[in-house]
Amino acid sequence: MHAETDILFRESAAKALLDPHLRANFRRAMDGLITKRKAQFPDPADLQELRHLSTAIRSRSLLNLPALLVQLEAACTRNGIQVHWAETCEQANQLVLDILQAQGATRLVKGKSMVSEEMHLNAFLESHGIEALESDLGEYIIQLDGETPSHIIMPAIHKNKDQIARQFSQKIKDAKYTEDVDELTAMARKVLRQKFLEADAGISGVNFAVANTGTLCLVENEGNGRMSTHVPPLHIAIMGLEKVVARLEDVAPLYAILTRSATGQAVSTYFNLISGPRGEGEKDGPQAVHLVILDNGRSRIYGDPQLQATLRCIRCGACMNHCPVYTRVGGHAYEATYPGPIGKILTPQMEGVGVRHDLLHGSSLCGACGEVCPVEIPIPDILVRLRREATHQDPASFVAGKGTGRTDAEDRAWRLWAALSKRPGLYRILTWFATRFGWALPSGAPLIRDWTRFRTKPIPARRSLSERMRAERGTHD
Amino acid sequence: MTEARTAILERLSAAPAGGPPPPEDTAVMARRHWPAAERVARLRKGMETVRTEFLEASPSDWPSVVQNFCDHEGIKSLLYGPGNGDAAALAASWDGDATLLPYDRPVEAFKTQLFTEVEAGFTSTVGGIAETGGILLMPGPDEPRLLSLVPPIHIALLRASTIQDSLWSAITNLGWGDSLPPNALLISGPSKTADIEQTLAYGVHGPKRLIVVLVNDLR
C-alpha cells in the first residue's frame, strides 16, 4: 500500500493544468528556449559529435570518480581551499553553519545553487539567525514570495512581469509599480549591490570542479555569482559529488554544450574559474574559501551501472524545456528540487521509488528528453527501470525504497488480467460485453473517471479485432 | 566529517566497475580554426551581439583612445591596477578629465567608495576567444578581481594578436591546464539577465557597459 506520506504528482499536476496563466507562462518560455537552443546547433552532425564527446568525458569522469574526488581534495587543499564532506543534507547544513558561525557571519549572499535548494539551506540558516539572501534575479524574485524554483536554470519562469511588478511594488521599500523589465532589474540591482557590499559571506554552487588544478568553475550571466564569490571575506562553495572532471580540457566541451543546451547561448557572460582564496599580494577576493562535497544518495546511485548515468547530468534543463509534461504543468507540480524528466529519475532515487512512485508514471515516454540530453542520459529507459524497481524487491538492487511502490490494487488488477488471459472462453465473453455495452459505462465510473477528467470518454469498437478477423477470413476464403 | 569522507569514498570504491567509457573524439573542438583577421571579426561579432562596445586603436595610440572615450562619456573616476604594465602606461600618459584611482590597497580600505563612487575600471586581458566572442582575464596582485566587476563601466584592453580560436585552444596555448591562479575569467559582455519573462536586461549586478579597446597589432 502507498503510505500516507506519498506525494502524488497526479494531484498537483491536475491542479496546475487548471491554471491558464501558469500554462501560458511556461508555454511561452519553453517555446523560446527550444527555438534558441536549436539556433545554436545549426549543424546536426556537429551537435552529435559534441554530445558524444561530452558523454564520453562525463562517463570517464564517473568511472574514476573516487580517485578524482581525492585528487580534487588534494589540489584544493594545496590551493588553500578547505574541503569538507557531507553524507546527508543535514550534515552539509551543519557544516555550512559551523563555518559561518566560526567567522561570526550573519549576513549571507547566495549565488544560484541547486544543491543548496536540495539542502533547504536558506530555511536552515534563517532558523539560526543568519540572513541568506538569494542574489540571482530569478532566485531573488521567488525568495521574496517564499517560493521554490520552478526551473533549474530559470527559477522564476512561472511568473510573468505583471506578477513581478506587483510583488516588487509591495515588497521592495520605496519601489513604484512598473512593468518595465529594465526598471524592475534596476530596482533589484540597487537592493542587491548594497547587500553584496555588506555581506559577511557568499555561497555558490559549482558547475564543474577540476581535479588536477583544484578549480571550481562557475557559469553565469548576471555577475551575482562573481559578486558572491569575490566580494565577501568568506566564500563557501557547495557541490554534488558527481561534478568533478579530471582536467580543465574536459571542461571546454562541457561548457560549450551546457550554455547552448540551457539557454541557447554560445557562451555565458561570465565563466569564473576559482582556484583559491585571496593570494599573496592580492587586494581582494575572499580570505577563506571552503568547498562542501555533498553525497545525499549519489554514491548509492553510483553503485548501479545503469542508473549511474543519472550522475552524468550537467544541469542544463534542456530535458524539461522539451518535455510535453513539464511544459504543461510547470516545475512546482513535481514538488521536488529537480523537476522535469531529470527530476523524475533523480528524485525517486534520492527520496525512494515508493514515496515518489507517482513521479515515475507522470511520463508518456515520448523520448524527447533523452534525445536532447547533452550527455545522452537514457532518461526514458531509466524511468522504465525505476518503475520496475518500485514494485520489485531485487536483492542485488541498490535503489532506495525498492519494492515499496507495490499496491494491493495494482497486484489484484494484474492477477485478474493474467487469469483472464489464460481463459480464452471467459476472455471472449468479456470482450463481447465490452464491445456491445462498453459505451454505456458512465464517465464517472472508477478508473474511467481518471481519464475523462480531462478527455472525452473512450468508446470501445463495436467488434473486437479477433471478431473482425474471423469475419474477414470468412469472406475471403 | 572524516567519517563522512571515509563512508562516501568506500561506497564509491565498492561500486562494480563499469565498462570502458566511450571513445573520445575531440575533432569537433580541434577543427574550430580561423586565420588571424577572421578571428578578430568573429570575436567582435560574438561580443557585439551581447552589447559589448568596441574602440579601435593602434599599438601606440590606445592610451589616448581610452582617454578620449572617458572624456567623451564624462567619466569622472577610473580605477586601475598600477602594477600592470598597460595600466601603468595609461596612467603615465594620462591627461584626461577623469581622476585616475590606483587600486593599490586591500579592498576593505575603500569598499564603500568602490561600490558607490567609482565609475569605471580599466583592465588588461590575457587573450580573447574567436569562436564565441569573449575576453580572458587573469586578475591577481597587479589587477585585482573587482576591477572588472564592481564599477558600472569596464574598459578592457585587447591586443588582436592574442585572440585564440576557442576556449579549448586557449586552455592549451595559455597553459591553463596545468595550474591556474586563484582567479581566471572569461567575459563576453556586460552583465545581463533574462529572468523576467526571458526579456534581456543589461547591467543587473556587474558592469552595465563593457568597452573593449581593440589594439590592431596584426602584421
Structure ipTM: 0.97
Residue B78, SS3? Answer: strand
Q: How far is B66 from chain A (nearest CA, A)?
A: 23
pLDDT computed for residue A443 by the predictor: 85
Selecting from B11, B133, B204 the residue whose C-beta is nearest the C-beta of A185 gives B204
How far apart are the C-alpha atoms of A273 and A219, rounded to whole Å? 9
**Across A242-250, average pLDDT:** 97
How far apart are the C-alpha atoms of A235 and A203, rounded to whole Å? 6
Residue A243, SS3? Answer: helix
**Does residue A378 register a pLDDT over 50?**
yes
Contact B138, B184 (CB under 8 A): yes
- A406 located within any domain: no
CB proximity B60 to A under 8 Å: no
**Interchain pair B140, A282: CB under 8 A:** yes
- A58 located within any domain: no
Share of chain A above pLDDT 70, in %: 98
**Cell numbers for B61:** 595610440
Could you say which of A241, A265, A296 is where a domain stops? A296
Q: Does residue A109 share a domain with residue A231? A: yes
Number of domains in chain A: 3
Q: Does residue A245 share a domain with residue A151? A: yes
- A176 located within any domain: yes
Per-residue pLDDT band for A453 (boundaries 50, 70, 90) equals confident
pLDDT computed for residue A1 by the predictor: 42
Side-chain-side CA neighbours of residue B48 (13 Å): 9
**Interchain pair A249, B171: CB under 8 A:** yes
**Does residue A476 register a pLDDT over 70?**
no
- Of the given ranges (A106-110, A442-446, B29-33, B183-187), which has the lowest mean pLDDT? A442-446
- A337 located within any domain: yes
Model pLDDT for residues A34-76, shown as the tens digit of each residue: 999 999 999 999 999 999 999 999 999 999 999 999 999 999 9
CB proximity A427 to B under 8 Å: no
Q: How far is A380 from chain B (nearest CA, A)?
A: 20
Rg for chain B, CA atoms, rounded:
21
Which residue type sits at A450?
Answer: D
pTM: 0.94
Share of chain A above pLDDT 90, in %: 86
pLDDT computed for residue B187 by the predictor: 98
Model pLDDT for residues A120-171, shown as the tens digit of each residue: 999 999 999 999 999 999 999 999 999 999 999 999 999 999 999 999 999 9
Classify domain B35-215 by CATH number. 3.40.50.10420
Could you say which of A296, A322, A348 is where a domain stops? A296
Q: Does residue A312 share a domain with residue A290? A: no
Q: Does residue A358 share a domain with residue A226? A: no
Model pLDDT for residues A171-224, shown as the tens digit of each residue: 998 889 999 999 999 999 999 999 999 999 999 999 999 999 999 999 999 999
Model pLDDT for residues A252-273, shown as the tens digit of each residue: 999 999 999 999 999 999 999 9
Per-residue pLDDT band for A5 (boundaries 50, 70, 90) equals low
Per-residue pLDDT band for A325 (boundaries 50, 70, 90) equals very high
Q: Does residue A115 share a domain with residue A77? A: yes
**Which of B42, B204, B208, B210 should be substituted to probe chain A, the one whose Cβ sees the most A Cβ atoms within 10 Å?**
B204
**Across B12-29, average pLDDT:** 90
Selecting from B8, B19, B145 the residue whose C-beta is nearest the C-beta of A230 gives B145
State the residue range of the domain holding A289. Answer: 66-296
CB proximity B45 to A under 8 Å: no
**Interchain pair B185, A270: CB under 8 A:** yes
Using a CB-CB cut-off of 8 Å, the residues of chain B touching A91 are: 1, 4
Q: Which is nearest to A407 in space by CA: A391, A425, A394?
A: A391
CB proximity B201 to A under 8 Å: yes
CB proximity A280 to B under 8 Å: yes
Rg for chain A, CA atoms, rounded:
26
Q: Does residue A289 share a domain with residue A180? A: yes
Q: How far is B215 from chain A (nearest CA, A)?
A: 22
Task: Spell out where B22-133 has E strands.
Answer: 53-57, 77-80, 99-102, 120-123, 127-129
**Interchain pair B133, A266: CB under 8 A:** yes
- A52 located within any domain: no
Q: Which is nearest to A239 in space by CA: A78, A73, A379, A398?
A: A73
- A184 located within any domain: yes
Q: Does residue A195 share a domain with residue A140? A: yes
Q: What is the CATH number of the domain that holds A244?
A: 3.40.50.10420
Model pLDDT for residues B45-69, shown as the tens digit of each residue: 999 999 999 999 999 999 999 999 9
- Of the given ranges (A180-189, B105-114, B171-180), which has the lowest mean pLDDT? B171-180
Using a CB-CB cut-off of 8 Å, the residues of chain B touching A212 are: 177-178
Q: Domain residue spans in chain B?
A: 35-215
**Does residue A4 register a pLDDT over 50?**
no
Q: Does residue A157 share a domain with residue A274? A: yes
Q: Does residue A270 share a domain with residue A171? A: yes
Model pLDDT for residues B182-211, shown as the tens digit of each residue: 999 999 999 999 999 999 999 999 999 999
Mean pLDDT value across chain B: 96
